[in-house]
Amino acid sequence: ELPNDRSEAFIHIIGNSASPRVDLVCCILTNNRKDCYDAIKKVLCIDCPIPSQVFLY
């Protein structure tokens, strides 16, 4: 669980959890902020490439 829904919180958790054993990352967003979506996808496509899916709740 995240302390807030800011993109930095998602990026921090992803960075701490990313490892070669991770096959897929699923993120559930509570809002449709494009900056948060873009930050998550940038990290998971470029910085540490892991297949990912982002859901809007």
Q: Which residues pair with 28 in a beta bridge?
A: 55
Residue 27 near residue 40, CB atoms below 8 Å: yes
The SS3 of residue 15 is: helix
Instruction: Find where tokens 């800011």 sit.
Output: 6
CA proximity to 37, closest of 15, 21, 18, 45: 45
How many Å is the maximal CA-CA distance in the chain?
29
Mean pLDDT of all residues in 2-12: 86
Q: What is the pTM of this model?
A: 0.83
Domains observed in the chain = 7-56 (3.40.50.2300)
pLDDT attached to residue 3 = 80
Cα 42 from chain centre: 9
For the cut 90, the answer to whether the pLDDT of residue 2 exceeds it is no
**What pLDDT digit, counting tens, does each position of 9-53 carry?**
999 999 999 888 999 999 999 999 999 999 999 999 999 999 999
